Amino acid sequence: MEAQQNDMIRGRGAQFNPQNRFTRNAYEQGVYEQAEDWEAQLRQPTQILIDQSKNIVNKLKIADVPLDAAINPYQGCEHGCIYCYARNTHEYWGYSAGLDFETKIIAKQNAAERLRATFEKKSWTPTVISLSTNTDCYQPAERKMKLTRQILEVCLEYRNPVSILTKNALVLRDLDLLQELHARKLVQVATSVTTTDESLRQMLEPRTSTIRTRLNIIRTCHQHQIPVGVMFAPIIPGLNDHDMFAVLQAAADAGAYWAGYTIVRLNGAIEGIFKDWLYKAFPDRADKVWHHIQSCHGGSVQDSRSGVRMRGEGEIAGIISQQFKLYCRKLGLNKRAHHYDLTAFRRPPKNGQLDLFADFV
């Protein structure tokens, strides 16, 4: 797949910083400054900003999202996926949803400490904690910060279930913890795959792991009998929808037992960011893709309607839904459900004595 990449910032998804909707004033470099600062424009270095969070677990009460609780150890994401719905949340931190989202990463340094404090509360009821509901918990910053690994260690210590969704093969670094969690029926892993076309992957998700290494996540987890699935998400009609069967087949062959999908929606600042990218990257098909997205959301690219926003509506969305069900049935996906052990939760003793019977309870 060929794309027009002239004058685009390499290694980044967004090509500019739209103004933060919560700020009245914005600073913009003049043309002469851009010319003098061309090297920095190309490199766009990443900054890691430290945050000491008061709370780390977010309780979820969203009708069309079957999740109970979530942790996002990072805000912002260096993966740079151009379509990412989480971009808008960066505005609450005072930054732009564009390049700031990819270059200013907020790391919640005390995430594990706050999670342990949450588990110690008598009011805590064991439930599955989902990682990466907003930004990827295994993005490049995790290699150094290890916040996600610390969270998994706490979940294992307290025997609390956890689910992981990631685009980064760094998850396999923590295979030892995943195996221990799985031995107690406390974990499920999934990876998101948008295409089998590596050149398109580089355009859509410039700093994510390659498709081959993501399929290796599935293969490795399957080899260790860790429950693993795939998300074909988001589907961008006119760009990657034709790749659905190839992605699902590759995932099933690698060992995925379940699959899911979503159709892209471009709420808030993401509309302008994605449209700018689309017309620069694929000018030959941009109009067609844009109109296809609109047709899935009642004439708009934005959609916040519960029960509709994730799957869309209309003719194209209907065809996608039918194809997905057909392919999953043909490939043997989604035939069984995964069950966590919510009865295993415990609070380790604080008296300094070894809990000799912990593994037998």
For the stretch 195-246, pLDDT in tens is 999 999 999 999 999 999 999 999 999 999 999 999 999 999 999 999 999 9
Yes or no: say if 170 and 143 are a contact pair by the CB < 8 Å rule.
yes
Q: Average the pLDDT over 151-166 and give the result.
A: 98
What band does 23 get if pLDDT is binned at 50, 70 and 90?
low
39 has a pLDDT exceeding 80: no
Q: What is the mean pLDDT of residues 270-286?
A: 96
Contact status, residue 151 vs residue 178, Cβ threshold 8 Å: no
Please say if the pLDDT value at position 356 is more than 60: no
Supply φ then ψ for residue 257, to 5 degrees: -105, -15
pLDDT over threshold 60, residue 38: no
Residue pLDDT, tens place only, 298-329: 999 999 988 899 999 999 999 999 999 999 99
d(CA 198, CA 343): 43
18 pLDDT band, cuts 50/70/90, is low
Q: For residue 173, count CB atoms less than 10 angstroms from its CB and return exposed for 0-12, middle for 13-18, buried for 19 or more.
A: middle
Gap between the Cα atoms of 201 and 213, Å rounded: 12
How confident is the model over 246-275, as pLDDT tens digits? 999 999 999 999 999 999 999 999 999 999
Between 41 and 237, residue with greater pLDDT: 237
Q: What is the pLDDT of residue 61?
A: 75
Structure tokens at 38: 């061309």
The answer to whether 333 touches 248, Cβ cutoff 8 Å, is: yes
pLDDT band at 14 (very low <50, low <70, confident <90, very high): low
Task: Transcribe 182-220 into DSSP letters.
Answer: HHTT-EEEEEE---S-HHHHHHHSTTSPPHHHHHHHHHH
Strand partners, 209: none
